Amino acid sequence: MKGLFNGGCHCGKVNFKIDGQVLNVVNCHCSICRRVNGGAYSSYLVVPDQAFEVTGGSEFLTRYAMSDKAEKNFCNICGAPVFNRNKLYSGVTVVPLGCLNEAAKFFPKVDVFCEDMLPWVMPWRESKRYEKGM
Ligand SMILES: [Zn+2]
Ligand SMILES: [Zn+2]
């Protein structure tokens, strides 16, 4: 899906826009995402780095290294996740679907790390499932 989408954190200090192609919509069931976001799984948009821009409040972002490859950037006022980057997937920014104003427009295309999926989770029927990453 291509377009202009806006989003931000819960307290409203950090705002961003996505202007360009959404490359993928992913549910990640890995244990890292579970811990850092607190949900059973985490839903993300994957967009080219150049399509993603923090339009306000970048001074409120804190970067946290989730692993030696992956970083999470979150609002240090409200704690909401804003974007992730991973050295394994260079050139793309991973944006939490729930922080988009237009969250309901996006449907998951893939579920990854299904081997770590909690037993009661029911993936979206049209989503392609991977036991590990892609
Ligand atoms: Zn905030
Ligand atoms: Zn994950």
pLDDT in tens, 106-131: 999 999 999 999 999 999 999 999 99
pLDDT-based confidence at 66, cuts 50/70/90?
Answer: very high
Longest CA span, the chain:
40
- Cα–Cα distance between 57 and 15 in angstroms, integer? 6
Distance, CA 2 to ligand 2 centroid (Å)?
24
Q: In this structure, is the dihedral angle defined by the CA atoms of residues 25, 31, 35 and 40, taken in order, positive or negative?
A: positive
CA-CA distances (angstroms) from residue 13 to 25, 49, 71, 127, 133? Answer: 25, 21, 20, 33, 32
What is the percentage of the chain residues whose pLDDT exceeds 70?
100
pLDDT-based confidence at 85, cuts 50/70/90?
Answer: very high
The one-letter amino acid at 34: R
**Higher model confidence: residue 1 or residue 52?**
52
Q: Which CATH number fits domain 2-125: 2.170.150.70, 2.60.120.260, 2.60.120.10, 3.30.70.20?
A: 2.170.150.70
Q: Are 48 and 74 in contact (CB under 8 A)?
A: no
pLDDT score for 1:
87
Distance, CA 32 to ligand 2 centroid (Å)?
6
What is this structure's pTM? 0.95
Distance, CA 56 to ligand 1 centroid (Å)?
11
- Taking the CA of 94 as reference, the closest ligand is 2
- Taking the CA of 82 as reference, the closest ligand is 1
- Taking the CA of 60 as reference, the closest ligand is 1
